[in-house]
């Protein structure tokens, strides 16, 4: 299939050899004309090459070309093309899937416990709030009251927070921003849970029954901070929490004061993650078991994202690792870093890049922005 290619300003001098360049990648203009679905189909129609763009971003930076000068800002271009790029890069990789036994068991038990919950608190990772939404959540919850929590709010920029706040408020959805490590937002969450379920006791009083504590189930993907939020709210370490997915293995009800009960639950994921760009983001953000992916593949794609990210770029890599970025191919950078620091061990180099990203060493950046 012949696809339109992106028109770029003429380069003053172009490097003679650019082996990673393929002209068949769908352009931004193509996406604008034909929409997201057609772009995704077009991206999947060509074999992906890591680092590929028509004229690599790094080259553009090096040649001093401003990408789409007056058409739109670099930032808009980045967000608009990110998912198509990710789809293109993940095509040839082994699918990321993680569904250990305890998740299957939890899913069953959670459905059973749902009828006991007055309100459901769905915790998401603020860096990837769409990728950390279970596709079946809406059908499980039905009309049950739900509060969305954007946890890890400290791990995104003020711009990211504002973009999501505008998005949710335009949809009339109330969200709480929280920090499960330091406790910000947890008191507000407690108050919201109680008020969302206040009708329960009104109805009980009308029936002549004594009031009972409001029951709130805390659900969400692995490692998004569910147990930490409960511990912060209770100001006691009642639920085990640690920086890896799959720490909580059992459902556990805990009491907060005399009028709120909270259910801590193990992180759940779909049995098959059909959207592999979302799965890749889960891997980058450590929200899925590390046995489900290859560190070197995931780190290579993370490098490619960050090189294009308007708030990061190649200078951040040069400063951090004291080596130059020679191209926009992530795999090449991981290999170069492995030679520089780890005797050629690419897994160690990849792990270093991933853990630096997770610790905010490239700055706090989100991997998702609201759909436009
Ligand atoms: N920076 C930051 N770290 C957080 C935040 N919330 C939780 N964490 C950290 O994230 C890690 C995971 O937290 P948990 O509470 O165990 O996550 P969980 O969702 O219960 O994970 P599972 O039980 O594995 O599903 C812990 O090391 C927390 O300290 C937050 O808002 N910001
Ligand atoms: Mg937990």
329 pLDDT more than 60: yes
Mean pLDDT of 107-116: 93
Question: Strand 252-256 relative to strand 260-264: parallel, antiparallel, unpaired?
Answer: antiparallel
| Residue 331 CB–ligand 1 contact under 6 Å | no
d(CA 139, CA 159): 31
How many whole angstroms from its chain centre is CA 139?
22
**Residue to substitute in 105, 160, 228 for testing ligand 1 pocket (most ligand atoms within 8 angstroms of CB):** 228
183 ligand 1 Cβ < 6 A: no
Token pair 């009104």 is at which residue?
A: 202
Which residue is listed with tokens 């680092």?
Answer: 51
Q: Which of 262, 245, 308 is nearest to 61 (CA)?
A: 308
CA 288 / ligand 2 centre spacing (Å): 13
| CB-CB contact of 279 with 285 (8 Å) | no
Residue 103 CB–ligand 1 contact under 6 Å: no
46 lines ligand 1 (CB under 6 A): no
Give the number of the atom of ligand 1 that is nearest the alpha carbon of residue 224. 19
Q: Categorize the per-residue pLDDT at 196 as very low, low, confident or very high, splitting at 50, 70 and 90.
A: confident
Exposed/middle/buried for 81, CB within 10 Å: 0-12, 13-18, 19+? buried
Distance between CA atoms of residues 342 and 349, nearest Å: 7
Measured from the CA of 123, which atom of ligand 1 is nearest? 19
Averaged pLDDT for residues 103-117 = 94
Q: How far is the CA of 247 from the centre of ligand 1 (A)?
A: 10
Instruction: Spell out the residues 6+ positions from residue 110 whose beta carbon is closer than 8 angstroms to its own.
Output: 140, 217, 219, 251, 265, 268
Residue 231 Cβ < 6 Å to ligand 1: no
pLDDT the model gives residue 39: 53
Q: What is the DSSP letter of 343?
A: T
Residue percentage of the chain with pLDDT more than 90: 74
Say how far apart CA 225 and CA 151 lie, in whole Å: 7
Alpha helices in the chain (DSSP H): 28-45, 57-63, 74-90, 101-113, 137-141, 158-170, 186-196, 198-206, 226-234, 276-284, 295-308, 314-321, 330-341, 346-358
**pLDDT greater at residue 167 or residue 66:** 167
In what side-by-side order are the strands of the sheet with 260-264?
175-177, 145-151, 119-125, 214-220, 260-264, 252-256
**Residue range 121-133: average pLDDT?**
98
| Percent residues over pLDDT 70 in the chain | 81
Res 51: pLDDT: 52
19-28, 67-76, 84-93, 175-184 — which is least confidently predicted? 19-28
Checking if the pLDDT of 313 tops 90, the result is yes
In this structure, which ligand is nearest to the CA of 98? 1
Q: Which atom of ligand 1 is nearest to the CA of 231?
A: 15
Give the residue, 30 or 330, on which the prediction is more confident.
330
Cβ–ligand 1 contact at 243 (below 6 Å): yes
All structural domains of the chain with their residue ranges: 28-93+294-358, 101-264
- Give the CA count within 13 Å in the CB-facing half-sphere of 22: 17
Beta bridge partners of 256: 260
Paired with 361 in beta bridges are 363
Other beta carbons within 10 angstroms of residue 49's beta carbon come to 18
Average pLDDT over residues 43-69: 50
Question: 93: CA distance to ligand 1 center in Å?
Answer: 28
CB–CB of 333/300 below 8 Å? yes
pTM for the full predicted model? 0.84
**What mean pLDDT do residues 224-240 have?**
96
Atom in ligand 1 nearest the alpha carbon of residue 228 = 15
Instruction: Measure the CA–CA gap between 68 and 93, rounded to whole angstroms.
Output: 30
Q: pLDDT category, 263, cuts 50, 70, 90?
A: very high
Give the closest residue (by CA) to ligand 1 atom 13: 225
Ligand 1 contact, 185 CB (< 6 A): no
Average pLDDT over all residues of the chain:
86
Q: Ligand 1 pocket, 132 CB below 6 A?
A: no
Question: Cα(119)–Cα(141) distance, rounded to whole angstroms?
Answer: 9
Ligand nearest to the CA of 152: 1
Any ligand 1 atom below 6 A from CB of 5: no
The verdict on the CB of residue 289 being under 6 Å from ligand 1 is no
Q: Give me ligand 1 centre to Cα 225, in Å.
A: 3
Ligand having the closest approach to the CA of 229: 1
End-to-end CA distance of the chain: give it in Å, rounded. 28
The answer to whether residues 68 and 310 touch, using CB atoms and an 8 Å cutoff, is no
Residues 17, 50 contacting (CB under 8 angstroms): no
The span from the CA of 54 to the CA of 238, in Å, is 53
Task: Give the residue, 40 or 283, on which the prediction is more confident.
Answer: 283
Do 298 and 280 contact (CB within 8 A), yes or no?
yes
Residue 304 in this model has a pLDDT that exceeds 90: yes
Quick check: CB of 26 below 6 Å from ligand 1?
A: no
CATH class of 101-264: alpha beta
**335-358 tens-digit pLDDT:** 999 999 999 999 999 999 999 999
Q: Would you say residue 167 has pLDDT above 60? A: yes
Per-residue pLDDT band for 75 (boundaries 50, 70, 90) equals confident
């Amino acid at each position: 299939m012949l696809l339109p290619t992106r028109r770029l300003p003429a380069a003053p001098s172009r490097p003679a050899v650019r082996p990673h360049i393929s002209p068949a990648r769908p352009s931004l203009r193509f996406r604008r004309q034909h929409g997201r679905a057609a772009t995704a189909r077009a991206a999947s129609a060509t074999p992906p090459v890591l680092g590929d763009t028509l004229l690599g971003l790094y080259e553009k930076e090096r040649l001093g070309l401003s990408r789409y000068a007056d058409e739109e800002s670099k930032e808009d271009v980045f967000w608009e093309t990110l998912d198509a790029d990710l789809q293109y890069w993940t095509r040839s990789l082994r699918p990321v899937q993680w569904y250990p036994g305890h998740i299957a068991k939890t899913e069953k038990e959670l459905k059973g416990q749902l009828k006991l919950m007055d309100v459901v608190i769905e915790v998401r990772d603020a860096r990837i709030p769409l990728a950390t939404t279970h596709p079946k959540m809406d059908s499980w919850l039905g009309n049950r009251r739900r509060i969305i929590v954007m946890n890890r709010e400290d791990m995104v920029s003020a711009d990211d927070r504002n973009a999501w706040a505008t998005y949710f408020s335009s949809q009339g959805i109330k969200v709480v921003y929280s920090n499960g490590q330091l406790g910000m937002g947890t008191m507000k969450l407690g108050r919201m849970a109680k008020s969302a379920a206040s009708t329960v006791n009104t109805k009980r009083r009308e029936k002549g029954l004594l009031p009972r504590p409001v029951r709130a189930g805390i659900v969400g993907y692995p490692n998004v901070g569910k147990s930490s939020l409960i511990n912060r709210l209770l100001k006691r370490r009642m639920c085990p929490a640690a920086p890896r997915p799959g720490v909580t293995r059992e459902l556990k009800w805990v009491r907060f004061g005399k009028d709120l009960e909270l259910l801590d639950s193990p992180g759940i994921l779909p049995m098959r993650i059909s959207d592999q760009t979302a799965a890749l983001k889960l891997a980058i953000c450590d929200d899925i078991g590390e046995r489900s992916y290859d560190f070197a593949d995931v780190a290579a794609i993370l490098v490619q994202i960050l090189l294009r990210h308007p708030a990061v770029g190649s200078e951040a890599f040069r400063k951090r690792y004291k080596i130059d970025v020679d191209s926009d191919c992530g795999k090449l950078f991981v290999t170069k870093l492995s030679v520089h620091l780890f005797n050629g061990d690419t897994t160690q180099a990849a792990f270093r890049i991933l853990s630096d990203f997770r610790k905010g060493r490239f700055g706090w950046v989100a991997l998702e922005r609201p759909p436009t």
